[in-house]
Amino acid sequence: MELWFTEKQTDTYGITMKVKETLVTEKTDFQDLAMIETEQWGTMLLLDGMVMTSDRDEFVYHEMVAHPVLATHPNPENVLVVGGGDGGVIREVLKHPKVKKAVLVEIDGKVIEYSKKYLPNIAGELDNPRVQVIVNDGYMHIHDHKNTYDVIMVDSTEPVGPAVELFTRGFYQGIYDALKDDGIFVAQTDNPWFKADLIRTVNRDVKEIFPIVRVYIANIPTYPSGLWTFTMGSKKYDPLEVDESAIPELDTKYYTPRLHKAAFALPKFVEDLTK
């Protein structure tokens, strides 16, 4: 008998993959968590039936959360990652030697626990001495740490369950206050095919708070539609003014110095969402 997993990305569309083995299923205090082994994408983390990450394409998302913003800030010593309990963004952050401390605030400790067990290639740097892992509410952590961070990265799920408040204007204002005077933040902001209104709303809210706002894209095949957006809000530094020749060559599979500015060149239908 064949076992297949389908993520219904809308009421009429989904992505389906063949499952070799179910590794764990658990209803945590916050969400339904599963780890499955798939034929196409290797080990995969699911939260509330949605694909969060997989062995084979995770590098795209994690690199594109971390590197564009860290290449934009000239001295990102103190970095906060909200969410991201799988550890992939932290792994990428630590590739930048200027980062002295990376704080991970994940609301669901079970995500961290099972990622360490089943996704060691992704979660392997969570015990690094430059990393502080806090199991708590990222929303409250932001509001309790004013003028603290150089860079804040929001690695959240889609806006359901505990992640809903991470897509609100109040949260973006809290991020602004938690950043230093030249701070930058970035958040994943879903896909333009099915979540156009979300991208439009986030862009409007962030523009009301930050003087520099840029949207960029990446191709992530296991995420809805495969086309994913990220929104960057900056107090001072513009990612489009970065000297790409000054960006170091990193140990990456997707992001490169040449890709840095190219990622901000949006298809017109996506660009229209940011106006």
Active site residues: 155
- CA distances from residue 252 to 63, 122, 228, 257 in whole angstroms, order as listed: 7, 13, 18, 11
User: Binding site annotation covers 221?
Assistant: no
Total residue length of the chain? 275
Question: Identity (one letter) of the amino acid at 8?
Answer: K
Would you say 230 and 216 are in contact if contact means Cβ atoms under 8 Å apart? yes
User: Binding site annotation covers 156?
Assistant: yes
Give the H or E element holding residue 66: helix 58-72
User: Binding site annotation covers 138?
Assistant: yes
Q: Is 75 exposed, middle or buried (0-12, 13-18, 19+ CB in 10 A)?
A: exposed
- Helix, strand or coil for residue 247? coil
User: Binding site annotation covers 125?
Assistant: no
Q: 6: which 2 tokens?
A: 């389908």
User: Across 28-75, where does the E strand assignment appear?
Assistant: 32-38, 42-47, 50-54
Alpha carbons 219 and 57: distance in angstroms, whole number: 10
Pairing state between β 78-83 and 101-106: parallel
Q: Which of 202, 195, 198 is nearest to 175 (CA)?
A: 202
Tell me the H-state helices in 131-168: 138-143
- What contacts 24+ positions apart, CB below 8 Å, involve 11-14? 13/194
User: Binding site annotation covers 158?
Assistant: yes
User: Binding site annotation covers 143?
Assistant: no
User: Binding site annotation covers 155?
Assistant: yes
Q: Binding site: residue ranges?
A: 31, 62, 86, 106, 137-138, 155-158, 162
Residue numbers in the known binding site for spermidine are 62, 86, 155-158
